[in-house]
Structure 1
Amino acid sequence: MLCGHGLFRAYLHKIGKLEKPDCVYCGNDRDDALHTFFECSRWIEERQKLQSEVGVLTPETIINVMLGSGVHWEVIASYVETILRQKKVEETKLAARETAT
C-alpha cells in the first residue's frame, strides 16, 4: 500500500499494462493508493467503518495511528486487505468483460 505498487490502475498504466490510469469506480483521473484508500467514493462505507474505529485518518497520520496500537494496526490492515481483495475480484470481472467484447 505505501509504495503504490499493486492493483492500482495508475501503477499498471505506468508499467504498460493498462492504457489509462483512471479510476473505474468514480472516474477520477488517477487510481493510485492515495485515491483508493483516502478519496474514492466506491470505498466510502469501508472508510467510514474504519474511521469509526480508529478516528480520522489522513496520509500524514496513518503510519502513526498504525504504530500507536496493535488493534489499530489490525483494523487498518484489514481495511486495506478488504479493499484490495474486492478490487481484484472486480478488476478480474471487468477484464473478462473487455476481453469478451
Structure 2
Amino acid sequence: MSGSKAAHRGDMAAQLISGHGCFRSYLKRFGHEDADDCPWCGGGRSETAEHVLFSCVKYARERSSLETVLGGRLNADNLVPFMLQGEAEWQAVTAAITTELRRAERARRVHETKGSIIYVDTYLPEPPIGRSSGQ
C-alpha cells in the first residue's frame, strides 16, 4: 500500500475512533442535521461512530467479515488491541473504517445536494418510513 493511502486510512481511523466524521450525532452538534437518530436502526438509536462500527445493522456484513479476520467479536474495548496485533489486523480494521466513512461522506454530500438523505452503496433497503429525519 502506498504511503499516502496508508496515511489516509490512518486519518480515517483516527476520525472514527475520536467520534468525528459524517455521523448524524456529530453533525447535529454543529447544526448540520436536525436529528441524530440512525436511519437504519431507529428506536432512538443515535448514529454515532461507536454505533456504526459496533452495532448498526447497515454495516453487519462488513462487521462480520472483519470479525472473521480478527478472530473475535469487535467492541469498543478491543478495537485498538486488535489493530495492534499485527499488520494484517491493522489493515483489515482501517480498510473497514475507510469504507464506512466514505459511505457516510457520500450520503452526506447527496443530502446536501438534494435536500434529503439518499442511501448509497448499501446492502439493505432504505429504512422504513418514519425513521429518517425527512419523514
TM-score range, shorter chain: 0.7 to 0.9
Give the structure 2 partner of residue 33 of structure 1: 49
Identity %: 27
2:102 aligned with 1:85:
yes
Structure 1 residue 64, shift from structure 2 partner: 0.6
2:58 aligned with 1:42:
yes
Three-state SS of the structure 1 residue aligned to 2:96 is: helix
Give the structure 2 partner of residue 59 of structure 1: 76
Greater share of residues in helix: 1
Instruction: Flag as ranges the 4+ runs of structure 1 deviating above 6 A.
Output: none
Instruction: Provide the rounded CA distance (Å) in 1 between the counterparts of 2:111 and 2:58.
Output: 15
Q: CA RMSD in A?
A: 1.5
Structure 1 residue 91, shift from structure 2 partner: 2.8
Unaligned runs of 5+ in 1: none
Q: What TM-score does the superposition give when structure 2 sets the normalisation length? A: 0.67
Structure 1 residue 61, shift from structure 2 partner: 0.5
Give the structure 2 partner of residue 7 of structure 1: 22
Unaligned runs of 5+ in 2: 1-15, 117-135
Q: What TM-score does the superposition give when structure 1 sets the normalisation length? A: 0.88
Bigger relative contact order (CA 8 A; separation at least 6):
2
